Structure 1
Amino acid sequence: MQLKHLFTEDRAVSPVIGVILMVAITVILAAVIGTFVLGLGDQVSETAPQASFSFDYNSTSGDLVITHDSGESITSANVEIVDPSGSATDWDDAANNGDGKITAGESDTITLSSPSSGDTVRVVWTSESGSTSSTLQKWTYNG
């Protein structure tokens, strides 16, 4: 082996590594740009709030009182109460302090007319953009 020949050799591994790095960078950039162009980046930050609700049903009047027990305060415009028939009612913020937020201790009442065993009432949160929704709590009638 000639030492002079070793230092004058033109072949190297660096072009192969360069091509691999360029392909990797291109794939990563395409993934990042694709997520934001398709709007998936906005949905990452739209997670459902953590809150706990309790339910108190009065069988004589048919009223179901839903109370926010603990957890994050929630914008009342984003919360609906879905009854067993599937119709949704906005959370009545005026019945509380009217500040636009549902905080611990605030409640809302809906009336159930002759519920059947297994009927479910859900408290549903929808994100500001309307692209994400989640059931925060549900209550099932066991009469």
Structure 2
Amino acid sequence: MQLKQLFTEDRAVSPVIGVILMVAITVILAAVIGTFVLGLGDQVSETAPQASFSFDYDGNGALTITHESGEAINAGQVTITGDINNSTDTWADFAAGTPTDISAGSSVVVNSSTGGGFAEGEGVRVVWESESGSSSSTLQKWTYNA
């Protein structure tokens, strides 16, 4: 083969590279469209917030729950459950007034289910639920240990 003929050769690998790129683009588009069609795209944004709560028990049945640090959370999405007098109320139901967000320093007081104090092993959970209701997560848990 002569050097001059080598530089004038018309055949190359560009058709192979073109096919590979087209297949890759098709696969990526199928994956993106598939996640949104199946509703998986909505669940990605519904991750539980990162927040820390502290619990202060007075020994007589009143437990103060305080948001110490982390993200501000919609008060209507946080439920306080466990061995308390109202077991399925949101944070907003316990708080004075109607706060829209739970931010650092926000606190509520809940009472034990018996009113006389928590028994050994009884507890309270702060639970977050997504806006769509499709997922929930326990943000913090407190258990009474005498």
Fold-level match, TM-score > 0.5?
yes
Structure 1 residue 63 corresponds to structure 2 residue 62: yes
Shift of 1:10: 5.3
Letter in 2 for 1:65: T
Shift of 1:31: 0.8
Shift of 1:6: 4.2
Q: Distance in 1 between matches of 2:100 and 2:7?
A: 75
Q: Distance in 2 between matches of 1:56 and 1:94?
A: 16
Residue in 1 that maps onto 2:135: 132
Check whether the contact 1:122–1:136 (CA below 8 A) recurs between aligned residues.
Answer: yes
Q: For structure 2, list consecutive stretches of 5 or more residues without a partner in the other structure.
A: none
Q: Secondary structure at the match of 1:92?
A: helix
Q: Distance in 2 between matches of 1:71 and 1:96?
A: 21
Percent of aligned pairs sharing the same letter: 68
Shift of 1:134: 1.8
- Mean Cα deviation higher: 98-107 or 70-79: 98-107
Check whether the contact 2:81–2:124 (CA below 8 A) recurs between aligned residues.
Answer: yes
Check whether the contact 2:76–2:92 (CA below 8 A) recurs between aligned residues.
Answer: no
Size of the alignment, in residue pairs? 141
Letter in 1 for 2:138: T
Shift of 1:141: 1.3
Shift of 1:55: 0.9
Root mean square deviation, CA, Å: 2.5
- Deviation string, structure 1 residues 100-138 (Cα, Å, up to 9, x no partner): 222333222222236443333110111212223222111
Letter in 1 for 2:65: I
Q: Distance in 1 between matches of 2:21 and 2:101?
A: 50
Shift of 1:45: 2.2
Check whether the contact 2:80–2:89 (CA below 8 A) recurs between aligned residues.
Answer: yes
Check whether the contact 1:93–1:101 (CA below 8 A) recurs between aligned residues.
Answer: no
TM-score norm. by structure 2 comes to: 0.78
Matches within 5 A, 1:1-143: 1-2=1-2, 6=6, 9=9, 11-60=11-60, 62-84=61-83, 87-93=87-93, 95-112=95-112, 113=114, 115-143=118-146
Letter in 1 for 2:139: L
Check whether the contact 1:75–1:102 (CA below 8 A) recurs between aligned residues.
Answer: yes
Letter in 1 for 2:75: S
Check whether the contact 1:93–1:102 (CA below 8 A) recurs between aligned residues.
Answer: no
- Mean Cα deviation higher: 45-54 or 14-23: 45-54
- Mean Cα deviation higher: 94-103 or 27-36: 94-103
Q: For structure 1, list consecutive stretches of 5 or more residues without a partner in the other structure.
A: none
Q: Distance in 2 between matches of 1:84 and 1:93?
A: 17
